[in-house]
Amino acid sequence: MSVNPADGAVFGALYGTDAMRAAVGERAILQKMLDIEAALARAQARLGIVPQEAAKAISDAARFEILDLPALAAATRNTGYPVVGVVKQLTMAAGAEAGRWTHWGATTQDIVDTATVLVLRDALDIIGADLDRLCEVLAKQAEKYRGTVMAGRTHLQHALPVTFGYKVAVWLSPLITMRERLKELRPRALRLQFGGAAGTLASLGDRGLEVVEELAKELSLGEADIPWHVSRDGVTEAVAWAGLLCGALSKIATDVMLLMQTEVAEVHEPHAPGRGGSSTMPQKRNPIACEYVLAQARGVHALVPQMLSAMAHDQERGTGPWQAEPLALPQAMLLTHGALAQALTIAEGMTVDAARMKRNLDSTGGLIVAEAVMMGLAPVLGRETAHHVVHHACDVALAKGIPLAEALAAEGEVSSRLDGAAIAKLTDPAGYLGVSDAFVSRVLARLG
């Protein structure tokens, strides 16, 4: 019976993805352990340490289907780790002669840690592919809407005009950085763990480094300069990166959720019959994808400290911190991909109401460009006088409920210098976008 909703048959449709569950779930981890044992035998056979026939028999037997899961569970409960039981069952499946060469020179943590790295590699591949896809989708949206003017908001109030393309580029930029960080962290996180009982590979005599090199090649993993049994920065960095990615996704979800409010209604999640509906209010179209981006992101953010606190390992083998990692790392990858999948749904299918953006932009009667007017009048009136005149015109516009342009025309210091066309130009939001379009171009250039 599932306890975590992300692993359930029903709630799992909302949290995580089936692809990630298959990549980091228990079956995948146990198969990776078998894969490592087989790879170790093949690597040592090439070096003449293990007989070729034994390596072949071990490799042929290293399939999940050979495992007696109830027996393995009992062994794991007894020893505290599944590796002993896995090795015992693999040894039996490979046959008496070949089986005695399994796990040669390795220790339990070598197998567990390297299995973790292998499932982490698969997880990062899945996340990386969908992150690429999300970046491409957002780039197209930024290009499409780079000229669509809307109200920029600070403290949830109208501030200055921006474009929706600019807003999307703001979402996109940190995601491009996440791709760069992912590329950088892979060599640090995806490293072979093979050090034997205390990290010295003493059981292999002077051939330990040869085995490390061959095993790393066999598994297509990087070599660590020294075993990292008690140095957990690599796997911890991967989870911290997932936390950063979820933070960037949360920004998108928060913005879209606010833009979906009835009073704003400028952007909406993709709609399908019944999606985001209410059991009692037929009119509702709730920001369901946004909500599950945020929920899963919060789940990942709660797991990052767990990984950080598990870095405090004692001596040459930790007593407790290591066992906390399996509770955090697979779940962090699952929830991260779930958040990413929901963000893709938003980005690919969102509807943008440019007409509503225009109505909201105009709803303050031009007050959103008060700064533009002030800066336009400053060379004529001086900055301080211009600020005073525009401030007074804003007060009048608000008090009388008239457009800012009309209030400005009633100001003698303005009307004596500017005609109606000049005032209209100053109060046009599309004329006060600064270098927002250039910023969009810079972000898109980073994507390549």
Residues belonging to the active site: 278, 317
- Beta pairing partners, 153: 158
The rounded distance, in Å, linking the Cα atoms of 299 and 293 is: 10
Rounded (10°) CA dihedral 357, 358, 360, 363: 180
- Beta pairing partners, 154: 157
DSSP E strands in 282-394: the ranges are 351-352
Taking alpha carbons only, the member of 201, 198, 197 closest to residue 212 is: 201
CB 311 within 8 A of CB 233: yes
How distant, in Å, are the alpha carbons of 37, 58, 99, 110, 203 from that of 51? 14, 11, 11, 22, 17
DSSP class of residue 223 equals P
CB 166 within 8 A of CB 439: yes
The rounded distance, in Å, linking the Cα atoms of 404 and 384 is: 19
Q: Which two tokens stand for residue 154?
A: 């600070």
The rounded distance, in Å, linking the Cα atoms of 164 and 291 is: 21
**Residue 447, H or E segment:** helix 436-447
411 backbone dihedrals φ, ψ, rounded to 5°: -85, 120
- Beta pairing partners, 352: 267
How distant, in Å, are the alpha carbons of 185, 193, 244, 253, 313 from that of 178? 10, 26, 8, 17, 29
DSSP class of residue 180 equals H
**For residues 248-276, b (16+ Cβ closer than 10 Å) or e, as one string?**
bbbebbebbbebbeeebebbbbeeeeeeb
Q: Answer positive or negative: Cα dihedral of 232, 304, 241, 32.
A: positive
DSSP class of residue 191 equals B
Angle at 97 between CA 93 and CA 103, to 5 degrees: 65
Query: Under 8 Å CB-to-CB from 246, ≥6 apart: which residues?
Result: 296, 297, 300, 301, 335, 336, 339
Where do we find the tokens 């973790």? Answer: 116
Query: Under 8 Å CB-to-CB from 375, ≥6 apart: which residues?
Result: 386
